[in-house]
Amino acid sequence: MLGKGAPRYTVRMSVSAYSPRRAWESPLYHAVAENLATFLAGRQLRGRPVPLFVVRDFRAFLDCGVPSHGFLRVHCEECGRDRVVPLNRRRRPPFPSRRTAVRRRGRARG
């Protein structure tokens, strides 16, 4: 049940159209999860630490699409079914600000 102040959104889509990826089942996910700590420690011991933004991106990759790290419950009022949609854990905002969008077009204003 949604809280009192929770916004309600209506989205029309076929329930069968959405199939969440299972990142934690992929070979790449397992390779990163099993080796990240060893890789980072080895680089640190050699005096060549991995840049912080790379560490953040690897950790965000491990969190992305995993329901235990955040999800939305979506309810279809037509068929009565619920779906769990894992949240995307990207570092950048999903919608660029106006200033960023203008800068990308090459017309940045001070």
Contact call for residues 15 and 58 (beta carbons, < 8 A):
no
- In percent, the amount of the chain with pLDDT more than 90 equals 29
Tokens of 77: 């009022």
pLDDT at 108: 46
> How far apart, in whole angstroms, are the C-alpha atoms of residue 84 and residue 73?
5
Cα dihedral 52, 53, 54, 57, rounded to 10, equals 120
**Alpha-carbon span 109 to 27, nearest angstrom:** 45
Higher model confidence: residue 88 or residue 44? 44
DSSP letter assigned to residue 78: T
**pTM for this predicted structure:** 0.56
Measured at the alpha carbon of residue 43, what is the angle toward residues 37 and 22, in degrees to the nearest 5?
35
Return the percentage of the chain with pLDDT > 70, whole number. Answer: 62
Per-residue pLDDT tens digits for 39-55: 999 999 999 999 999 99
Q: What is the rounded CA–CA span in Å between residue 37 and residue 59? A: 10
Tell me, what's the pLDDT at 99?
A: 52
pLDDT of residue 14: 56
